[in-house]
Amino acid sequence: MTKRRWGLFALGITLLGWVIGGEWVSIHALVPENHFIDALPGLSFLVAGIVALDRRPGNCIGWLMIAYVVVSYLGNWGNLQVPVVPAIGGSIGQQLGGAILAHMGLSYPTGRLRTRFERAVIGIIYGVSSVASLVILLAFDPRADGCARCAWELAPFPSRTAVLTANLVAQRLGFILVLLFLAAVWLRWRRATPAERRELAPLWVAVCVVCVVDLMGAFASPFPVVQPFAYLVWELQSLLYVSLPIIFLWGLLSARLARSAVGDLVIQLDRPLPPGELRACLARALVDPPLEVLYARDGLDGWVDAGGQPRSLPEPASGPRTKTVTVVERGGQALAALIHDPALDQGLVQAAAAAAGMAIANERLQAEVRAQLEEVRASRQRIVEAGDAERRRVERNIHDGAQQRMATLALSLAMLRDRAASDPAMAASLDQAAAELRQAIAELRELARGIHPAILTEEGLPAAVEALADRSALPVRVLADFDERLPWPIEATAYFVVAESLANVTKYARASGARVELSRCNGTLRVAVTDNGVGGADATRGSGLRGLEDRVCAVRGSFRVDNPPDGGTRVLAEIPCDA
Amino acid sequence: MPEPPPPGRQDVKETASPELGGMAARADPTAAAGIRVVLADDSVLFREGLARVLADHGFVVAGQAGDADGLHAAVQRETPDVVVTDIRMPPTNTNEGLLAAQRIRAEHPGVGVLVLSHYVETRQAIKLLQNTPQRVGYLLKDRVSDITEFTDTVRRIARGGSVIDPEVVAHLLRRRADGPLAGLTSREQDILALMAQGRSNRAIGERLFLSPKTVETHVGAIFTKLGLLPAADDHRRVLAVITYLKNA
């Protein structure tokens, strides 16, 4: 046994003496009550207090239990016919017990009062109890009431009015104090996280017990003290008080009970888990629904979630809502981080993490694969976007450069031609040059349009697709249910899907018409190009359709080519566009 | 993605939009006298060239601008008869000219606007026409090289007519090829295209070597087939055609 345990043992024996001694004094003073039942709550608080001090050192609830034992048995010692003791026992024992119980309740389970309001409530309760004790100590003189045994009461300023007033005020204030106490408990409940609420449950049980006891007291008080019924009530009260320290102790030690949930966790994890299910299992086992699991990257700094998305750990900053991070390691290497409620027992979190070790390592590998996949996808998207940006730049250069110069040149030629009207040979040459130039301008226009259509930049997707339809060799119907602009990588992707698909329809499908549908629904752009031709298109063959599929995938979209049984081909692309 | 000219396209173009120029009605060369024009284009060379051409043909070039703000200021200052503007201008180089045209038409109903672009698109033509279908024009930029046709166009806009590039008309006609327009004969389609260019029956007749009387008969047939009431006004004919094409 350690020195501390010896000390606790000695304290326990001393207090046992205090309780039993008190009863012994009462027996000898012929106090009419069941001394065994009277001693039970004291013994219960005593044992619970010592166990709490042993198992939760540093938590003051154990000390409060001890203090409650000392204070509540002062009254019994008050029957000792020794100077001063009866007065102190009677007044202090009567008033302070309730205050200590309230303190215990509000500081449960950590032993600390958290908010200013809680400290104020407890301070006021102690203050009122102390003042009432002092007044009674100074003014109560039972000899004035003809108490024969009360020769040793100390009453330097005997005053019946003062005592009655103090009692009345303490009673009335007591009612308000109980309400304040309940308000503080309710506030704590409201601000508590789910994990904290689980811990607060015993407190509610205790509050209910005290309420029942007090109601019984209120019910019993009209009866004269001597009535057997009142005794019965008192004894029932005593028995209920026996349960209080047990409830508190159970709550204090319940983190150990929660470990059985870790056992359930081991059983749950003994099967393949879908992504994210591990988090749910851990959250259930630890009763912390918002619990998060992040995974360490392999050979890289940073963290990802189960889906492979980069995430960062919460700052270890202050604040009541700050999360606690528990890093799970294997072989000195960080594997995962549990981001959980700070109220959770650290040992319990460690136990759960250890139980889930295999599953965590497994899900981390999956997260790593997803993260790498996401990086590849992002780099593909960047490559496609860079290509699109380059095409736009080239188109713009052609527009501002060659096209503009050629238009100016055509104008100059026309002016020359006007002046050369008198020279038919010159006029014929100039006409020929002008015709050549017109042809060149037309070809350059088609080239630039193929590189990147200006209408797409200027007016958006539906207008650009209508322009495509205008130039298609086949009759093409365009149905668009929106006219807004979309992010340009999405517009460009959708445009090239339509352009390439219509080109395919013209070249291979032997169709007499085609239909282009553009629709937006639930943040998804849907592009469908349907023809009535011979069908037989296959996305897996031919670089055109394959290239489209790659482009669409690069912007997180899906791409499909259907050949409906009733003929024709349908190219369908769905692209997410959260705009 | 280069887009090779699809087969059959050339035919459509030819039937729908006969070559401009040549036969253009230069009935009254002095009609340009006093028509005041403001030019806007971010290319100084092109702008100067255009100004020379217009001045040579009797127009008064009242102002020039390199961007939309300059254009608005010049219009405010000069209140010209016609504005000729490029569609793409600084600062965004997208469709400033188109927006400026819509604004000028709304704020100065007496000022006609001709928008030039290296590309002509149906959507933009409709945008330009839908609110104020009078005194607007929308042409491919290189159409200016046919000086006679171009100056004639500016004059038509100054007179209150509207002019849409033959290419747009061709697209519109083709787009509705499966609709009621399919009921038009190819001669009637030619006439409809020329109507969309704001031409009078007489000008259409000269262009197609038909007597005005024959043209009138054809126009009547077109209106009947499209279920439209004939109207005398040039721009109302354009409006009727375009509105029909847009909504068909």
Rank A215-229, A248-262, B163-177 by mean pLDDT and report only the highest: B163-177
Let me know whether B86 and B139 are in one domain.
yes
Whole-number Cα distances in Å, A387 to A108, A392, A551, A557, B3? 64, 9, 11, 18, 18
Query: What are the tokens at A306?
Result: 């189960």
Let me know whether B84 and B171 are in one domain.
no
Let me know whether B42 and B120 are in one domain.
yes
On whether residue B10 sits in a domain, the answer given is no
Q: How many CA atoms lie within 13 A of A414 on its CB side?
A: 26
Q: Name the residue facing B147 among A396, A418, A475 (closest C-beta).
A: A418
Chain A interface, best mutation among B118, B140, B173, by max A CB count within 10 A? B118
Residue B195, SS3 per DSSP: helix
Among A138-147, A389-398, A531-540, B208-217, which stretch is predicted with the lowest mean pLDDT? A138-147
Q: Does A406 touch chain B (CB under 8 A)?
A: yes
Among A110-114, A178-182, A352-356, A459-463, which stretch is predicted with the lowest mean pLDDT? A110-114
Predicted local distance difference test score (pLDDT) of residue B15: 30
Residue in chain A closest to B53 (alpha carbons) equals A415
Residue in chain B closest to A408 (alpha carbons) equals B46
Let me know whether B101 and B135 are in one domain.
yes
* DSSP labels, A38-91: HHHHHHHHHHHHHHHHHHSTT-THHHHHHHHHHHHTHHHHTTS-SSSHHHHHHH
On whether residue B15 sits in a domain, the answer given is no
Task: With residue B164 as reference, give the H or E element that holds it.
Answer: strand B163-164
Q: How many domains does chain B have?
A: 2
User: What strands lie across the sheet with A292-296, from one edge to the other?
Assistant: A310-311, A303-304, A292-296, A333-340, A324-330
On whether residue B5 sits in a domain, the answer given is no
Let me know whether B85 and B160 are in one domain.
yes
Let me know whether B38 and B147 are in one domain.
yes
Q: Residue B222's domain spans which residues?
A: 167-247
What is the residue-averaged pLDDT of chain A?
A: 82
Let me know whether B60 and B128 are in one domain.
yes
B114-137 b/e (C-beta count within 10 Å ≥ 16 → b) = bbbbbbbbbbbbbbbbeebbbbbb
Query: Are A335 and A360 spatial neighbours (Cβ–Cβ below 8 Å)?
Result: yes
Instruction: Please state the pTM of the whole predicted model.
Output: 0.59
Query: Are A348 and A341 spatial neighbours (Cβ–Cβ below 8 Å)?
Result: no
- Nearest-Cα distance to chain B for A475, in Å, is 6
Residues of B in contact with A454 (CB under 8 A): 88, 118-119
On whether residue B147 sits in a domain, the answer given is yes
- What is the Cα A310 distance to its own chain's centre? 18
The whole-angstrom separation of Cα A103 and Cα A49 is 14
Let me know whether B105 and B38 are in one domain.
yes
> B95 vs A503: CB contact, 8 Å cut-off?
no
Residue of A257, A245, A260 lying closest to A51 (CA atoms): A245
> B6 vs A506: CB contact, 8 Å cut-off?
yes
Position A524: which residue type?
Answer: T
Predicted local distance difference test score (pLDDT) of residue B248: 41
The whole-angstrom separation of Cα A551 and Cα A571 is 14
What are the residues whose beta carbons fall under 8 Å from the beta carbon of A375, sequence distance 6 or more? none
The whole-angstrom separation of Cα A518 and Cα A566 is 22
Domains, chain A, ordered by start: 3-192 (no CATH), 277-371 (no CATH), 459-576 (3.30.565.10)
What are the residues whose beta carbons fall under 8 Å from the beta carbon of B122, sequence distance 6 or more? A466, A467, A470, B168, B171, B172, B175
pLDDT at A133 over 90: no
> Of B164, B182, B204, which closes a domain?
B164
Residues of A in contact with B1 (CB under 8 A): 450-451, 496, 499-500, 503
Query: Are A349 and A326 spatial neighbours (Cβ–Cβ below 8 Å)?
Result: yes
Query: Cis peptide before A109, with omega less than 30 degrees from 0?
Result: yes
Query: Are B111 and B142 spatial neighbours (Cβ–Cβ below 8 Å)?
Result: no
Q: Quick: pLDDT tens for A263-283.
A: 777 777 777 778 778 888 888
Region A14-40: mean pLDDT is: 82
Residues of A in contact with B2 (CB under 8 A): 446-447, 450
Residue in chain A closest to B116 (alpha carbons) equals A407
- Nearest-Cα distance to chain B for A289, in Å, is 51
The whole-angstrom separation of Cα A342 and Cα A321 is 8
Predicted local distance difference test score (pLDDT) of residue A517: 95
Residue of A577, A566, A553 lying closest to A497 (CA atoms): A553
Higher pLDDT, A151 or A517: A517
Q: Name the residue facing B9 among A438, A457, A473 (closest C-beta).
A: A473
Q: Does A420 touch chain B (CB under 8 A)?
A: no
The whole-angstrom separation of Cα A70 and Cα A52 is 16
Q: Does B146 touch chain A (CB under 8 A)?
A: yes
> Of B147, B164, B181, which closes a domain?
B164
Per-residue pLDDT 10s for chain B (248 aa) are: 444 444 433 333 333 333 333 333 344 444 566 899 999 999 999 999 999 999 999 999 999 999 999 999 999 999 999 999 999 888 888 888 889 999 999 999 999 999 999 988 888 888 887 777 788 899 999 899 889 889 999 998 998 888 888 888 777 776 655 556 667 788 888 888 887 777 778 888 888 898 888 888 888 888 777 766 655 555 556 655 665 555 44
Q: Quick: pLDDT tens for A54-64.
A: 877 667 888 88
Whole-number Cα distances in Å, A206 to A69, A154, A243, A534? 17, 36, 8, 80
Quote helix, strand, coil % in chain A, to nearest 5.
Answer: 65, 10, 25
Let me know whether B160 and B171 are in one domain.
no
Chain B residues 206-245 with a CB less than 8 Å from chain A: none
Describe the crossing of helices B44-56 and A404-419 by its angle, rounded to 10 degrees. 30
Whole-number Cα distances in Å, A336 to A226, A270, A330, A358? 68, 19, 9, 12
Query: Are A455 and B95 spatial neighbours (Cβ–Cβ below 8 Å)?
Result: no
ipTM of the predicted structure?
0.75
Residue B88, SS3 per DSSP: coil
Write the burial class of residue A565 (CB in 10 Å: 0-12 exposed, 13-18 middle, 19+ buried): exposed
Predicted local distance difference test score (pLDDT) of residue A148: 58
Q: Does A130 touch chain B (CB under 8 A)?
A: no
Whole-number Cα distances in Å, A65 to A59, A76, A212, B247? 11, 18, 20, 88
Predicted local distance difference test score (pLDDT) of residue B40: 95
* A-B contacts at Cβ under 8 angstroms: 118
Output the domain CATH number for residue B152: 3.40.50.2300
pLDDT at A347 over 90: no
Let me know whether B49 and B132 are in one domain.
yes
Q: Between the CA atoms of A251, A252, A257 and A261, what dihedral angle is there, to the nearest 10 degrees?
A: 80
Let me know whether B122 and B50 are in one domain.
yes
The whole-angstrom separation of Cα B65 and Cα B74 is 7
Q: Between the CA atoms of B97, B103, B104 and B109, what dihedral angle is there, to the nearest 10 degrees?
A: 140
- For chain B, how many residues are written? 248
On whether residue B7 sits in a domain, the answer given is no
On whether residue B194 sits in a domain, the answer given is yes
Among A354-358, A379-383, A543-547, B120-124, which stretch is predicted with the lowest mean pLDDT? A543-547
Output the domain CATH number for residue B233: 1.10.10.10
Predicted local distance difference test score (pLDDT) of residue B5: 42
On whether residue B78 sits in a domain, the answer given is yes
Predicted local distance difference test score (pLDDT) of residue B11: 34
Q: Does B122 touch chain A (CB under 8 A)?
A: yes
Query: Cis peptide before B7, with omega less than 30 degrees from 0?
Result: no
Q: Quick: pLDDT tens for A7-16.
A: 889 999 998 9
Q: Which residues partner with A520 through β-bridges?
A: A525
Let me know whether B130 and B180 are in one domain.
no
On whether residue B18 sits in a domain, the answer given is no
> Of B117, B138, B164, which closes a domain?
B164
Region A65-86: mean pLDDT is: 77
Q: Between the CA atoms of B9, B11, B14 and B17, what dihedral angle is there, to the nearest 10 degrees?
A: -50
Write the burial class of residue A82 (CB in 10 Å: 0-12 exposed, 13-18 middle, 19+ buried): exposed
Query: Are A24 and A10 spatial neighbours (Cβ–Cβ below 8 Å)?
Result: no
Q: Quick: pLDDT tens for A154-213.
A: 667 777 777 778 777 777 777 788 888 888 888 888 887 777 777 777 777 777 777 777
Query: Are A111 and A66 spatial neighbours (Cβ–Cβ below 8 Å)?
Result: no
Kindly indicate the confidence band of residue A318, based on its pLDDT and cuts at 50, 70 and 90. low
Query: Are A244 and A209 spatial neighbours (Cβ–Cβ below 8 Å)?
Result: yes
